[in-house]
Amino acid sequence: MDTFGIVNLSRRDFLKAGAGLTLGLAAPRVFAQAGPGRAGGKAVAGGVFEANDFVRIGKDSRVTVIVKHLEMGQGTYTGLPTLVAEELDADWSQIRVEAAPADASRYNNLFWGPAQGTGGSTAMANSWEQLRTAGATARAMLVAAAAQRWGVQPNTITVSRGTVLHKDSGRKASFGQLAADAGKQLVPPDVKLKDPKNFVYIGKRVPRTDSRAKSTGTAMFTQDVKLPGLLTAVVAHPPRFGARVKSFDAAKAKAVKGVTDVVAIPQGVAVLAPDFWTAKTGRDALTVQWDETGAFKLGSPEIMAEYRKLAATLGLSARKDGDVNRALAGAAKTLEAAYEFPYLAHAAMEPMNCVVKLGAKSCEVWNGEQFQTVDQAAVAGVVGLKPEQVSLHMLYAGGSFGRRANPQSDYLLEAAAIAKAINGRAPVKLVWTREDDMRAGHYRPLNYHVLKGGLDAQGRIIAWHHRIVGQSILTGTAFEGAMVKNGIDVTSVEGASTLPYAIPNLGVELHSPKIGVPVQWWRSVGSSHTAFSTETFLDELAAAGGKDPYELRRTLLGKHLRHKGVLELAAQKAGWGKPLAQTQGAQRGRGIAVHESFNTFVAQVAEVTVRDGQLKVDRVVCAVDCGVAVNPAVIRAQMESGIVFGLTAALHGAITLKEGVVEQSNFHDYAPLRMNEMPRVEVHIVPSNAKPTGVGEPGTPVIAPAVANALFAATGKRVRTLPIRL
Amino acid sequence: MILPLDVNGKPTQVEADSNTPLLWVLRDHLNLTGTKYGCGMALCGACTIHLDGAPTPSCTTPVSAAPGKRITTIEGIGASNIGQVVQAAWIALDVPQCGYCQSGQIMAAAALLAANKNPSDADIDAAMTGVVCRCGTYNAIRAAIKRAARALA
């Protein structure tokens, strides 16, 4: 491959490259109009072939895939380029990844209308056709260029692993050799995508594009951004949600050598210095008086007590099949169970942070950017610019689990407010300490559920009533219009209102109390609690009716074939029905659960041991149906990841409030799962030709009920409050 | 005060308050940003470095404890055979997800293998339990350590 250098450009090359094409695949009219002389007009240097908004091919044959979704561990920087590489017939070693800028006109999430952002396990699903089309379009233009150069018909040309070949004449060319000419070809209005049987990469393990950088310390996270004159800001935040700064004494903070600024912002008081440790020392030396007039002062037990009272009253109906009350009244046997779920923090390994460089007419932001369109508008509002004047650099995120898509852009606005408070004198890196991050709110909502079930004389479930009490996540966000209907926040009841089991009389109700604790989507959102209450209660009904929990699920799943498919696969691989090896002096059990979230179906069988009052999860067998398995290795990793995330919450996770103050602060009192607690995990993928669906979240909700059901099998004890306490 | 440091085999000097955690000296003074901040209390291990070969949380180690000792970070671990083999195993098995904790994981794993060429599962648990991964890469880490051990055997 020849080396490509901008400095060596001839004017002629540059002009040629000026005809490089830019097309918006999401905007068909632009698509049709694009072509030589009618392209988006983006000047492209040095014979680079800018096929469209997602694919750029250099003279050196490098294929740069522009990825519009945040890489936060879930594999977007591998899975999305795979789609392009497949249809382009590139060699995987040619592929490079570049983060897309914030530009919703080109890089919107196709499932979110005009908004750009990553969430809801949509990255692969919404890109599936878009990026394959982008790759196929670029391929067609390379082929057209070769056909023109060689004077042959395009359909006599093949492309394989980055080589364009005319078999009959033996002529071949690299992508780089064709790039400049490809840019002059007409953009085909329609391209044919591959028959899945010809896939080279899709369905196979393709190495991750980020492993090397992340194994050598060179991957760039927001925490690592360096800019000339950069100041680090550490902020004193109020001890309670809703409190404000009344007054502060900056003297002691300013006395710390190196502190440059102490400024009040709406979120608290920020201390700035050229390095983190000086800024933090200054912050810790501050004295701040807080105005707590509007502060939230209840504790978790008081909130739960209020919720219990609410749960005794009729809620808004989220689903109503048959006549639940009559069926319950006529049931041979009834059961009732109440479930309590705490607030949960996301606690990503990289605490929230953000870099803002504010100019007179521009604002640049560096961030593990998950919610571009919302953040652009919010930051613009704070600094007094137009959204399009705010540019966002999307960096790797050190985890997110939902946190970096903050509907209020909370930490970005804090960084922007600090930059504004020092009049843009220096770029500012806001760094939250672990304690700041843990106590900043935006938690998975605390929830209270009550379930009632009725069995007939044969032990069949004839009635199911589910009442949920929990704060609405979507009310007040950009998603409210689309996803809060008649007072029902879809994410409060998802998994419960969508219960797949054939139960003739089924009711789901919701109360959404307004509480002054900021809440947010947390990996798997509503399913993080509804999967637990529904899948453990079903287990209780199975036991009460004398049925095997696996067989009962199979029977009730009826036509829900994808639920059934994963259930059967997990059960088979786990050896369901075969006796579990017992250990002397310990109790062992096996539990099963199945749940669909984000159109992905997951079943898990957990094996647990209880010894000396200690619960250990030994093994998890997981089956997943996510449609076409684009990268089985990434899917396995994501299932395992979801299991660890859900298991952490099931075994340890609780954010609790006392008189409005968050009691947890760091990893000693908000414990993550560690290596010594890690179960063996097997992941089995159901073969499928359905469109791919997400894998980032759906592994999470299933593990807690599977473990709780296993614990029941081992000990006869039911878990109705999380985290599990023996 | 001015402190002489030996970082990844190179002598250097930094001017910092003697109580400043080594983590922030590495990151903010020396621009070695591969070592990560996760908790500031030696609870998560993201900041693990080697001091004279011993895995050490740099977030609670004052810079004043470092002069006279060899400091090795993720940027320098690949210079040793063990470090190189561990990093190669990490890449071969695609261990990282978000990647933020992996510098600490690799430093802890390299120290384990330097002391124990053939670690058992219990040895791996003991050496790695201090390093938190919220993405849940633990089984991949275990497999990569075993792969590296085989490569070193």
ipTM for the assembly: 0.99
Sequence-ordered list of residues with C-beta below 8 angstroms from that of A561, at least 6 positions apart, any chain: none
pLDDT for residue A704 = 98
| Domain identity same for A30 and A168 | yes
Q: Is the CATH number of domain B2-76 3.10.20.30?
A: yes
**Closest Cα in chain A, distance from residue B68 (Å):** 23
| Domain identity same for A282 and A306 | no
Q: Which residues of chain A lie closer than 8 angstroms to B28, CB-CB?
A: 232, 274-277
Per residue in A266-320, pLDDT (tens digit) is 999 999 999 999 999 999 999 999 999 999 999 999 999 999 999 999 999 999 9
Per residue in A691-707, pLDDT (tens digit) is 999 999 999 999 999 99
> Which runs of E-coded beta strand occur in A575-652?
587-597, 600-611, 614-625
> How confident is the model over A22-47, as a mean pLDDT?
35
| Domain identity same for A156 and A208 | yes
The total number of structural domains in chain A stands at 3
What is the pTM for the complete model shown?
0.94
| Domain identity same for A614 and A484 | yes
The ranges of chain B annotated as CATH 1.10.150.120 are: 77-152
Nearest Cα residue in chain B from A350: B38
| Domain identity same for A418 and A285 | yes
Task: Establish if A436 belongs to a structural domain.
Answer: no
Mean of per-residue pLDDT scores for chain A: 93
pLDDT confidence bin for A10, thresholds 50/70/90:
very low
Of A379, A404, A431, which residue constitutes the final position of a domain?
A: A431
Predicted confidence (pLDDT) at residue A33 exceeds the cutoff of 90: no
| Domain identity same for A413 and A531 | no
Q: What is the 3-state secondary structure (H, E, C) of A528-576?
A: HHHHHHHHHHHHHHHHHCCCCHHHHHHHHHCCCHHHHHHHHHHHHHHCC
Task: Establish if A182 belongs to a structural domain.
Answer: yes
Cβ <8 Å between A349 and B29: no
pLDDT for residue A44 = 55
CATH architecture of B77-152: Orthogonal Bundle (1.10)
| Domain identity same for A10 and A44 | yes
Task: Establish if A725 belongs to a structural domain.
Answer: no
Per residue in A340-351, pLDDT (tens digit) is 999 999 999 999
Residues 144-163 of A with CB under 8 A from B: none
The ranges of chain B annotated as CATH 3.10.20.30 are: 2-76
- A644 and A96 in contact (C-beta within 8 Å)? no
Contact with chain B for residue A642, Cβ under 8 A: yes
Helix, strand, coil percentages in chain A from 3-state DSSP, rounded to 5: 35, 25, 45
Per residue in A549-605, pLDDT (tens digit) is 999 999 999 999 999 999 999 999 999 999 999 999 999 999 999 999 999 999 999
Contact with chain B for residue A537, Cβ under 8 A: no
Instruction: Kindly state the helix (H) or strand (E) to which residue B72 belongs, with its residue range.
Output: strand B70-72
Nearest-CB residue to B132 (from A396, A433, A674): A674
pLDDT for residue A478 = 87
pLDDT for residue A144 = 98
Task: Establish if A724 belongs to a structural domain.
Answer: no
| Domain identity same for A378 and A495 | no
d(CA A233, CA A546): 61
Predicted confidence (pLDDT) at residue A16 exceeds the cutoff of 90: no
Per residue in A315-330, pLDDT (tens digit) is 999 999 999 999 999 9
| Domain identity same for A229 and A251 | yes
Largest CA distance in chain A: 87
Sequence-ordered list of residues with C-beta below 8 angstroms from that of A289, at least 6 positions apart, any chain: A245, A246, A247, A248
Nearest Cα residue in chain B from A523: B135
Q: Collapse the DSSP code of A395 into the 3-class scheme (helix H, G, I; strand E, B; otherwise coil) and give the result.
A: coil
| Domain identity same for A60 and A33 | yes
Of A159, A185, A215, which residue constitutes the final position of a domain?
A: A215
pLDDT confidence bin for A7, thresholds 50/70/90:
very low
Contact with chain A for residue B72, Cβ under 8 A: no
Give me the amino acid identity at A537: F
Which tokens belong to A429?
Answer: 């890196």
Cβ <8 Å between A680 and B139: yes
How many residues appear in chain A? 726
Q: Which residues of chain A lie closer than 8 angstroms to B94, CB-CB?
A: 207-208, 211, 633, 637
- How open is the CA angle A200-A206-A210, to the nearest 5 degrees? 145
CATH number for position A242: 3.30.365.10
Which tokens belong to A287?
Answer: 């004295």
| Domain identity same for A258 and A118 | no
Of A384, A404, A431, which residue constitutes the final position of a domain?
A: A431
Contact with chain A for residue B141, Cβ under 8 A: yes
| Domain identity same for A416 and A331 | no
Sequence-ordered list of residues with C-beta below 8 angstroms from that of A669, at least 6 positions apart, any chain: A663
d(CA A665, CA A11): 60
Residue A81: give the domain boundaries: 6-215
